[in-house]
Homo-oligomer: A and B are copies of this chain.
């Protein structure tokens, strides 16, 4: 690496704390069926490279969602490699809807907080 240094230091992940489950549910509710690695890449792409979900967060989070009955998994072999696809359960679908609303309101509130004068604009 002579020319392009890795800019992976100083990620802004800390702000996303508390949003991870909601983010995963949102993606699954749109794409229908995704696997872990795919989820993390998609999340990153959709947040301008800001949200870098590490494996240490991602997989435990997915397992937790599964344990809560919000998603269900299915392993698919791609050549010799196993891929674990997740999709929302019925209750997961309802939960996703709620979480997305909650996230949306949260964003609206943060925006109001940042620009109180433009709150109703």
A interface, CB within 8 angstroms of B: 12, 14-19, 22-23, 26, 43, 46-48, 50-51, 100, 102-107, 109-114, 116
Task: Give Cα distance in the complex from A23 to B15, angstroms.
Answer: 11
Residue of chain B at shortest CB distance from A42: B113
The answer to whether A107 touches B116 (Cβ under 8 A) is no
Majority SS at the chain A contact face: helix
- How often does this chain occur in the complex, in copies? 2
Task: Give Cα distance in the complex from A106 to B12, angstroms.
Answer: 8
Residue of chain B at shortest CB distance from A104: B114
Task: Give Cα distance in the complex from A12 to B111, angstroms.
Answer: 16
The answer to whether B104 touches A48 (Cβ under 8 A) is no
Q: Find chain B residues with CB under 8 A from A16 CB.
A: 18, 106
Q: Closest CB of chain B to A50's CB: distance in Å?
A: 5
Q: Nearest 4 A-B pairs (CB), nearest first?
A: A17-B18, A17-B17, A47-B109, A14-B18
